[in-house]
Chains A and B, each alone.
Chain A
């Protein structure tokens, strides 16, 4: 006998006990596991009917299934919900945390991608960002240290395995939760910030249909 749940019960009550267990296991795996989970590992992801129930559960909480490498699944924010939160000015990360995260993304992903070392649109990378590369006069050493701690705890960055030159960082597993549209938005924003006068930045502004103010915190 299980207790009813105010949000999910309407979806779960019609399922058999077994289907309910499979759906909840798959829901938990895509929501709370650090890394994407293999489709073959869980009936709730393998079976299209059960996977549809997982997607319905996620939809109720503003999330959606994200397919990774064609074989794995994770969950990320639904694009419409993310857009609504952005429109409301919702921003859980402090400006310092965002700045440090962006530095890691620039050094570990954007630069290697521009050099052709990384392909595809994933934000996963093995190219470490060193502490030297994170140094900036705008953020004190103590602020940076605390920020790195918070970003690591959130899974947004992780320590790289390469300790040859002291601690270094790579993007964390949470970046794999970005939907295709969110991955593109992030890439566009980095281009607009790094090369605002470039033809590609012009094309992004034209596609978005409105001029974007570089450096605008919103």
Chain B
């Protein structure tokens, strides 16, 4: 193998090791491509996320049939429910890909949550909601900002296939419609967005 090929393999392996240990990574758009890591431009285009992809027939989907479960998610039902709510709040143009979507708010999430439960909000709901949002943020399914109480979909959603999106579209149709988002800041001004990201 040529020196160049060896260096290329090492470069790929190091980036893969990084995304496996820390989850999808936000890098400078000038960062050279890494084989097998797909690139998702951040909403303001100033950075890109590197997200691992696997060949079909590999990944978590095959674990169930092998009877070898992955690391358990705590409160799996609540967490899945909150992911569905974030999708319905942040993926408003359902003819477009889910990434990057739009900013949703905690008020929207609480409203849809109460609607799903079919009852008025209870005091314990917020604890469950925040716990699930933190779990989903830690695993990069969403980007949850505690300070502004706003949420966006996370970079891992770029790996959703057309079939996944079709299923999610159906799911969104069955969820209560979120109220309009009242954002703490205007969504677009770039300098403001960068301050919030710190």
Contacts and interface: CB of A to CB of B under 8 A. Distances in A.
Contacts of A6: 35-36
Given A32-B70, A33-B66, A62 B16 contact: yes
Given A25-B62, A37-B66, A152-B74, A81 B55 contact: no
A61 B20 CA distance: 9
Nearest to A9: B55
Contacts, number: 117
Nearest to A6: B35
Q: Chain A interface: which size bin?
A: 35 or more
Contact of A60 (B13, B66, B70): B13
Nearest to A33: B68
A5 B66 contact: no
B71 A90 contact: no
B55 A5 contact: yes
A51 interface: no
B54 interface: yes
B13 A33 contact: no
Interface of B: 9-10, 12-14, 16-18, 20-22, 35-36, 53-60, 62-63, 66, 68-74, 134-135, 138-139
Given A7-B12, A61-B20, 5 more contacts: A3-B56, A33-B63, A41-B68, A85-B21, A172-B71
Closest 10 CB pairs of A and B: A7-B36, A62-B17, A33-B68, A92-B22, A61-B16, A155-B71, A62-B13, A7-B35, A5-B55, A24-B58
Interface of A: 2-3, 5-9, 12, 20-21, 24-25, 27-29, 32-35, 37, 41-42, 59-63, 77-78, 81-82, 84-85, 88, 90, 92, 146, 149-150, 152-155, 172-174
